[in-house]
Amino acid sequence: MKGILLSNDFDLIIENRQIQIGENKEQCAELIIGSEKGEIKEYPQLGVGLSKYIKSSGRENEMIREVKLQLSLDNIDSKIDYKNGLINIDI
């Protein structure tokens, strides 16, 4: 998927006074996973809010389902592995 590129600090990448465009599937996934529902104005139902799952226990399966669902809403296929408190998401 192509789109506007952001830096690691989520600032626009501008070179030669032009916004940079390129492959941005990973940064889209990162934004969706880190955002709470309602934070993305155009799509208020989009967002995982990963922090609420990190602060709780016993909700691992719910978290995995929510991540897969939310990423699929942006046409991002993912494989999720959760072991020993660590989540690995391959897109």
pTM of the predicted protein model? 0.86
C-alpha span between 7 and 33 (Å, rounded):
17
Residue 20 pLDDT more than 90? yes
Closest CA to 26 of 45, 6, 42, 41: 6
- Would you kindly state where each structural domain of the chain is located, as residue ranges? 25-90
- The string of pLDDT tens digits covering residues 21-62 is 999 999 999 999 999 999 999 999 999 998 888 878 888 899
